[in-house]
Amino acid sequence: MPDSTKEGRRVAQTGRALGPRALRTRQRLLDATEQLLVERGVLDLSVVDIARTADTSPATFYHYFKDVEEAALHLAEQAAREMPALIELIDGSWDGAAGLDTARRVVNAFVDHWSAHHAVLLIRNLSADKGDRRFQRVRRDSLSPVLDRLAARIAEAQTAGRVSAALHPFAAAAALASMLESISAHTRELEQREVGREQLVETCARVIHQVMTGEGRP
């Protein structure tokens, strides 16, 4: 496995450190990859197109990346670094009216993150589901802390007798996160029907709040 897949290292395929010009070129290639991912979707992505879009040649692409997947992996890592600070939000108060606000903030942060990186997160999830370990790692690193904190809060609520012990805390956390991921992914489509973003956020926030606290009856 080439060094350049290791997060944070900035090296060419040869293993050399990169100067400022090279870093700019590399970033231009990554930007082009993302642009094509957004414009044409996950299915039609080629080295030649990426190089063309970045105003450079395929040979240059191969200086920096082994293949298209590796460029996508780097984009996924960049997106992960911009993951919002969900942990702090989740560690906020879940009591009473403040709890609902906390839930809203969590949902908003999640949806924002997804609209900013829709195409990249999509190919990350696809490749991870397909079995690619590198993408699985990026997703896990990004999501695990959130799931663990959510699960911990649910477990606390169970101990306090507010939430049914029949919920599996981690499974519930995963279910809520899945809901947020795919809600974010389908936002546009839902807007074609009568549902606007505010209603979606509010409704998801209430679902999450209810699961996390057991509250929710009128």
Partner DNA sequence: TGTACATCAGTGAACGCGCGTTCACTGATGTAC
* Residue numbers at the binding site for DNA (CB under 7 A): 12, 16-22, 24-25, 46-49, 55-63, 67-68
Nearer to DNA, 19 or 196 (CB): 19
199 binds its own copies (CB under 8 A): yes
Cβ of residue 11: shortest distance to its own copies, in angstroms?
27
The answer to whether 78 and 8 are in contact (CB under 8 A) is no
- The CB-based long-range contact list for 74-77 (8 Å cut-off, 24+ gap) reads 74/4, 74/5, 74/30, 75/30, 75/33, 75/34, 75/37, 75/120, 76/120, 76/121, 76/123, 76/124, 76/135, 76/138, 76/139, 77/7, 77/138
Taking CB within 5 to 8 Å according to partner kind, which of DNA, its own copies, none is near residue 25?
Answer: DNA
Footprint on residues 132-151 left by its own copies (CB under 8 A): 136
Question: Which of 12-20, 23-31, 91-99, 196-204 is the region at the interface with its own copies (rule: CB under 8 A)?
Answer: 196-204
Which of 42, 48, 98, 116 contacts its own copies by CB under 8 A? 42
Give me Rg for the CA atoms of the chain.
Answer: 20
Contact call for residues 120 and 37 (beta carbons, < 8 A): yes
Query: Could you tell me how many residues of this chain bind its own copies (CB under 8 A)?
Result: 50
> Which two structure tokens, joined as six digits, stand for 101?
């606000």
- The item of DNA, its own copies, none sharing an interface with residue 75, based on CB under 5 to 8 Å by kind, is none
Q: What is d(CA 187, CA 36) in angstroms, rounded to the nearest whole number?
A: 21
Q: Is 36 helix (H, G, I), strand (E, B) or coil?
A: helix
d(CA 64, CA 10): 9
Q: What is the DSSP letter of 43?
A: S
Position among 17, 43, 59, 85 found at the interface with its own copies (CB under 8 A): 43
* Residue 164: CB minimum distance to DNA, A: 51
Q: How far is the CB of 126 from its own copies (least distance, A)?
A: 7
Which residue, 19 or 96, is less far from DNA as judged by CB?
Answer: 19
The interface partner of residue 164, options being DNA, its own copies, none and the CB cut-off 5 to 8 Å by kind, is: its own copies
Instruction: Give the H or E element holding residue 45.
Output: none
DSSP state of 11: B
Q: Is residue 8 close enough to count as binding its own copies by CB under 8 A?
A: no
Give the binding site for its own copies (CB under 8 A). 41-43, 122, 126, 128-130, 136, 158, 161-168, 170-172, 174-176, 178-179, 181-183, 185-186, 188-190, 193-195, 199-200, 202-204, 206-207, 210-211, 214, 216-218
